[in-house]
Structure 1
Amino acid sequence: MRRAVAWWILGGLLLAQVAVMALSLDGTLFAGLVLNAVYLLPGLLVAGRAWRNPGPDRAAFGFLSAGMTAYGVANVYWYLVVRDLDPEPLVSPADGMWLAFYPCFAVALVLLLRRRLPRLSTAAWLDGVIASGAVSALVSVPLLATVDPSPQATLVGVAVNAAYPVSDIVVAGCLLGAWALCGWRAERTIILMIAGMALFATGDAFSMMLIWQGIDPWPTWIDLTWTVGLTLLALAASSSSPLSSRASLPAVSSVPSVGGPAAGLWVSTAVPSGLALLCLALLVYEALADHLAPPVSSCLAGIAVAAAILRMILSVRSAEALGAARRQARTDDLTGLANRRHFIEHLDRAIAGSEPCLSVAFVDLDRFKEVNDSFGHDVGDSLLRMVGDRLRAALPDGVLLARLGGDEFGLIMPGCDAGEAGTIIENILCTLREPFALPEVDLHVDASVGIAVYPDDGTDRPTLLRRADVAMYAAKNGHDGLTFATGLDDQARARLTMLEELRTGLARGELVLHYQPKVLVGSALEVCGVEALVRWQHPVRGLIYPDDFLYTAESADLMRHVTAAVLDLACRQIRSWHDEGLPISVAVNLSVSNLRDPEFPAQVASLLERYDLPPSALELEVTESVLMTDADHALALLGQLRGMGIKLAVDDYGTGYSSLTYLQVLPVDDLKLDRAFVSRCTTDPRSAAIVQSTVQLAHSLGMRIIAEGVEDDATLAKLYEYGCDIAQGYGIARPQDAATTTRWLRSHQIATLAA
């Protein structure tokens, strides 16, 4: 409130000063009081701002207030002491206080900028040199012209009075240089400072000219340039614009925000260019005219022009670098083709254009992962480069080819309907079937292609891309090579729509686990663990069982993500059960992808550490078919897991290869006998014999046998007779959610978890 009152008083004093001038009241006591008050009050306002805000800018505004207050005190001293002297001295103590304003202002400006500009680009420094040099040169010409001492002037008098225009030159150059360093941002603080010091320079120039010409008294409007200038500086100090906030000033040369990016670019280009041209014009004028500019002005103008030339060279190089960066941002590093960003931008432009139709194709190489796994990523990268070169050579002009990521390529075929697009794709499929000569082997490559046609299959980019992707997966699953989105049947659409929904569901955490208890045979259903069975809690279709989505996940290389989610849920539930006093272990099924992932053991170890679980709390199950997909890698990875203390089990034993050769070297703890044998062991002698012999085999190898599919007490009794170790099935407990399973566990005895 008091601050607002002070500003209203200052405004009233300025109006009173104007009234004094208009009414010719100079020399009256009222005029003296108004003039001295209007000189003193701006400095006091800045001092109050520094006192009220003890932030990092307090020192800067302290210096500014000291300089402005000294200026006001000097005017009071001149009014009370010097004004009535006859003759009035050319130099007085008031000059010392007036001149003290300039170094105080310079220090304040440096302090304000030092903290805000920790890092500047070369372009910013050059802009600063151009601005400060040019303004200093241009301002110095008229100001230095006022320094025309009479023969009676003393050296001190000349020096002191010349110090005013020189100080104005320096301060003006510093202000314009600071504006350039701030990226030519048209902020309130810097503009007010520039305007205030411009008025000071105007007043000083005219006053010096009048002094050297011996004119007395001066026109009263000269005082108004200084008082309004002080007021503008006080307004700059009270401003809350970005010059008072470090976060808002750029660390490098930037464009101002006034008028938007286009206006900012115009200002950042036009201002330094205009200043440099004015300096060049000054130098040309000096060279052609008889009248020479002051040497200081010429030197400063030359510096500004030289900096402008360097800035132009730097701008050209920056433009070249920017062009190269933009090309790189839209180019795939491996193949040199367009990348996904370029592909999407091109498609958007094509859809927005006047093409009556266009086709979009996704090309995915078949079994490319096997190439990477078998020969290494270097060979895989070489193959991708060769595929890119061959595709590019086989495509007609006007077709955009892009590598979208991994082994997937995209094509945009403007003006092509389904028939024309099909012809192009058939041609590149034939081209790809020619062998690729790699250093280690000649490879034949097949691809699966999905095509979507605009506008038949969609009128916007997301729809076209989604339908082309769905068509490509349909081609891969159906081994058709080429599939059109418009030709997909309802079943294929549903299956591939599920794939996209599964991707989204994984991101949203829609997978849940149900748990089926396992009990020790012949122990009155003493619980020894549970098996985690994944379910998908679909937001629309409800609970979806694994048979309906795991195959889709495996074919789309999503099983790693599914297993990661399942393991995290399982470990979290184990931790919860252990905290509740239920020492339960949980079995989780693995996929082919997990046994091919060398980082998988580390991921498991990380989960156990995160949830503070012993390795024995987790059991991992693999099927025989998964084991035999890549037996050597699988055995090595299982060995790492077993070495960590994690229990391992072979699931669905008896339905796969059942090779005794690999069985004797498998680092597993349990064999899970498939339900196909267990469920018939009470009625089928052959099944009973298989169960009994498998139990004996497992025990002879130091393994436990787990019987799946126990449906009734008779089967459980027969398993006890055969010496089976563990059983699970609907006859014991159905898979249930965690809450239901927890209640079931509390009602049964739990075996001690092995360390």
Structure 2
Amino acid sequence: MQSIAVVAIYLAAWVGSDLLGAFYNGSHGTFYPWYLGAALTFYLIYTFGYEYAPLAVLAEITRPVLFPSTAHLRFIDYLEFGAIAAVGYSLVVLVLKRILAIRLPFETFQDAANFCGVAIVAPLILALIPGAIAVSIFGGGWQHFLREVVSFWVGDTLGLLVLVPILATYVTPRIMPNPDEAPAPVFDIKVRERLLLYATVVGATLLGYAAVLTGVSGDPLRYFVFLPLMWMAARGGLRLAIPGIFLTDALTSILNYIFPTTSIHPIDLQTFIVISAISSLSVGALVDQRARAERQTRALAFTNSLSGLPNRRGLERWLERTEGALLLALIDIDHMKLTNEGLTRAAGDELLKRIAERCNDFSGADFIAHVSADEFAMAVRGGMETAQALGQRIGEIFEEPIAVEEHELYVSVSIGIAFANGPTDYEEVLRHADLAMYRAKQSGRGRAVLYSPDLADEKRTLSLATELHAAVRNREFVLFYQPIFEFIGENLRCTGVEALLRWNHPRLGFLEPAAFLDFLENMTLAERVGLWVLGEAARQAREWLDADIDLQVWINLFPRQALDPQLPNQIKTLLDEHGLSPSRFVLEIVERVIAEDTNDIERAVRALRNLGTMTAIDDFGTGHSSLARLREVPVDVMKIDQQFVARCEIDDKASGVVQAVLKIAQELRLRPLAEGIENEAQLERLRFYGCRYVQGYFLARPMRADDFFRWLTATRV
């Protein structure tokens, strides 16, 4: 039934448009600027398939059969025209779909640009044979041949440029077998604004044509209408640009028929339509592509790319907008690193996806999020009386093993549950759930803990958790920068800085990481702080680079941050945002993470290396890494812990340890950096041993960014 309808509609539209063109051309010397038959044939084959191509032949012979008075060629000529259209536009569709991979409706600027190019080139090639046939019948030599070719070519091109986009945009989504595959409108333009824009285009077209009729010139018609057309494309993308093109060009053709004038040469009219169509399609496609990219970027900002679930920011946004009593459960996968042992990167990711699916299938949850690498969250509307049952039900969904590749994996979870009543203070709920989850992990894991005011025996724990959340909210964290020096010949030069986290506590002043880092690393807040550190360091690096300060920035990663599979994408986004090379960063990972983990950290370091950033093993000598383990993890730099540097200038044993560590670095082809240089004797000893990089209070203390800039400027004078 659908096939019959397609055939009937196509033939009726084709014959109708052909008769319209013949009527237009035959009336008081007017010239029909566009030929719609080619556009209809192309759209038919593109949308419904190559099996409909023979209809082009049937369409060509229908008009002379039904309306013989309008036919001026031999019957065989119409057959040839139909065959050329059927074969030619089948090949055009093949090129668009298979080679250029263009999709209608347009989704990218490249789609629109490629389509415009094909719409110009293909009709020219297909017009050569009809042009030759016309010359053979009517004579006229080469000049007549060129005139006929141009007539066929431009008419078909205009039909493709004007009609196909409007059919693809407004007809295709209604006839596709799966409407969900059609791209959603990028802009939501209100009806009143849409009508106002259409009226503006109509008014501009009428005014431009009136200027032509009054003898001003043809220029107003060709250029005056461009402003509202471009405004429509910029304001609403292709959804407004395409009907704007059709409306303008159709109205121009109607006006030219009703009020014929010699002031407009046919080629001027056709040039106007071509330029307006290509310009509007290009601008509209660019606007759509940019808007779609911005929408995707906004969505990614609130979505975990691995699981597709909302991330922590998505959870925070939902909590901020939610009122009424609810329970929030933070779910931490116990011993995720051990579970991942022996799994490939793909299998580890698959495990997290399976866990996300189980969480997503949890009945009764109002919101589910993937808040960090191995942590999930569920929000359930309800009162405190359902908290215990909630923890039990969440635990039950992990009782069955999870099938990943050939493995059957059992996982347990630690759950922290917090209750909120009334308008939700999302920061307080997250803080309470975070603290409850931390207590569940400290109590032996594999259990659920409900937050209560007396949860912590020691007030310091609760206070610290509360203050850390407040520190993020109030932007109390700052970065200090400690210079890193490189021996270049006999000279010592600052070639990098280490970004060091400090907490500007409202009561206690600047706190070093030793006062809060261990606690922070066990909270989901760590990844948020870690991402802020990366962003702030990138911003500062860009500022220095703009001031001709070319330095590498060394950044400490939190253990859970280093293992996050999203880290490389996060870093790439920051580097692109600030226009930085990946080699600008050196990312430090503490040795204990490398020593404890077997597979995840190796994959993480390789991913960072593939991105182009350097990596360093921090505090070497404190994590009991074996030489074999160090060979497996492809880091670039070995930072020698300051406990080995201390007393190396006066203690032979300490000196021997430093030399041994430097020999290990040489064996592994790592760049060595010695931390904690406290006096000139240590510096000279390390220079003698061949240590390439050094850092310490003797050389320069950590400084705020503005202090570092002044220090560097003074030392380089």
Point out the structure with max Rg over C-alpha: 1
TM-score range, shorter chain: 0.3 to 0.5
TM-score (norm 1): 0.45
TM-score, normalized by length of structure 2? 0.47
